[in-house]
Structure 1
Amino acid sequence: MYLEIVTPEKVLLSAEVVSVTVPGVEGEFQMLNNHEPIVSVLEEGDVKIEGSFTIEEDVQNQFTKQADNKYHLHIKGGVLEMKNNKAVILAD
């Protein structure tokens, strides 16, 4: 699936990923390829991303590498939309 993570300042990530786990207001949940359409408010927490992708050099310091092909990005909140195998996170 395709993932975009956007902040008011810039696009942090725009890449094909295997999965993304987000901190929803009713708990953490994961999305994989062909997930049903969803819109969700996100709480403060870590967005967990798995996949083989390149993070732009100017934003690498915002991501924490957990293991091979696994990264975390801490957000203060935001909104997620998943539709047509594309997830867009508008993060604070």
Structure 2
Amino acid sequence: MAQLQLEIVTPDRLVLSEPVEYVGAPGYEGEFGILPGHIPFLSALQVGNLYYKSGGKTFFVFVAGGFAEVSDNKVTILAEVAEKATEIDVERARKARERAEQRLAKQQENIDNARVQAALARAMARVSCRSRAKDAGTCEM
């Protein structure tokens, strides 16, 4: 089967570099999918779950912002934050979600609403990523 090279990079590290059969990513205009032979493409990413298929299995990676570039059967993800589902600390993400929900419920004037909403979105996406990977059988809880 034809493959494409997937590389996920953050400012701190190379998260992933391997040949895959398919990539699905959370673009700003909606989720998009990449198969081998895709035309050159560039998209901004939003907070969410990127997934890829390799060897008949589906794997998940949490991404928070950044860009996806597709060119010559290579998908490069330049993300502000990226974590493989196996690296996500679910308990920490749940606590972050609870803190954000509590801050939003208080409706204080000195709260940075956009910042709290972003923290809530990241926490929820992390928990979702880990859960989807567990359901796919590619991550133990």
Q: Above 0.5 in TM-score?
A: yes
Length-normalised TM-score, structure 2: 0.53
Q: Which runs of 5+ in 1 are unaligned?
A: 53-67
For 1:55, the equivalent position in structure 2 comes to: none
> SS of the residue aligned with 1:91?
strand
For 1:71, the equivalent position in structure 2 comes to: 59
For 2:26, the equivalent position in structure 1 comes to: 23
> SS of the residue aligned with 1:76?
strand
1:2 pairs with 2:2: no
Cα distance between partner residues in 2 of 1:49 and 1:69: 8
Higher RCO structure (Cα 8 Å, ≥6 apart):
1
State the percentage of identical aligned residues: 39
Length-normalised TM-score, structure 1: 0.80
Cα deviation 1:6-45 (Å, max 9, x = unaligned): 0111101111000000000110010000101001100000
Superposition RMSD in Å: 1.0
For 1:80, the equivalent position in structure 2 comes to: 68
Displacement of 1:76 in angstroms is 1.0
For 1:63, the equivalent position in structure 2 comes to: none
Q: Report 1:27-46 matches (<5 A).
A: 27-46=30-49
One-letter amino acid of the counterpart of residue 48, structure 2 = G
